[in-house]
Amino acid sequence: MLFRFKQFVIKQEAAAMKVGTDGVLLGAWTPLYAPSRILDVGAGTGLLSLMLAQRTTNATIEAIEIDEAAYNECCENLQNSPWAERLKAYHTSFQEFLSVGKLYDLIISNPPFYTANYKAPAAARHIARSAEALPFDILLGGVSRLLASTGYFSVIIPYAEEESFIHLAAQYALYPVQGLRTQGTPDAPLKRSLLLFSNTRTITPFVPQTLTIEMTRHNYTLAYKTLTKEFYLNF
């Protein structure tokens, strides 16, 4: 099973989590301030690493993935891309990776966020989507240790978790600087929050924008097409 983008291809036969709108949105939206070292936490197929490789010229990107099947596919996808020399994957948990002692200019994550009450159709998919695999406090605590003093952390979470996530992030001296809330259609409730954090508190108010993905089924908005046009084949 292959998902083809304009400049790279994702193999996703074994990975529990396939290419989805959340990942593409995060990879396309994440603001870049000339990062030289990037860390992709919970890389899955390597989608975010590849999108950021396409959007940068010299950045080195490291991806960590705990699931062995996903890690193997991630390695294959990274090696088969035009930017293989700038990409490296590690088969490890985020908790174990914290001991490396490196600092990153950008840390990005499309983390698991479903609770234990969520029942996925397969065990691997449940692990990939369950917040038990990487609780938000572990994620934020680790980010605070690995983020360079001028670095940024980019993440996508359910909109319903936005307020509590921002409050929790502040406990680790991480503060929101940019945000994007998404909804499926104009009449649909807000579904996701894309958030960019810095470890420097600013006086600029945090005012997220809102993006509507579709007007009707498969009738994508101009804003969504503009955001993702460098990646999707049909935009």
Condensed to tens digits (0 to 9), the pLDDT of residues 191-218 reads 999 999 999 988 889 999 999 999 998 8
**Pair of tokens at residue 200:** 């420097």
Most confident of 1-5, 128-132, 192-196: 192-196
Q: What's the total number of domains in the chain?
A: 1
Condensed to tens digits (0 to 9), the pLDDT of residues 56-85 reads 999 999 999 999 999 999 999 999 999 999
233 is a domain residue: no
Task: Give the C-alpha separation, 45 to 43, whole Å.
Answer: 6
84 is a domain residue: yes
Condensed to tens digits (0 to 9), the pLDDT of residues 223-235 reads 999 999 999 999 8
pTM to 2 decimal places: 0.92
29 is a domain residue: yes
Q: Are strands 2-4 and 9-11 parallel, antiparallel or unpaired?
A: antiparallel
Show Cβ contacts of residue 30 under 8 Å, excluding neighbours closer than 6 positions. 52, 106, 108, 154, 194, 196
Structural domain containing residue 175:
2-228
111 is a domain residue: yes
| Predicted pLDDT of residue 134 | 86
Q: Which residue has the higher pLDDT, 87 or 235?
A: 87
What mean pLDDT comes out for the span 175-195? 97
235 is a domain residue: no
CATH number at residue 196: 3.40.50.150
49 is a domain residue: yes
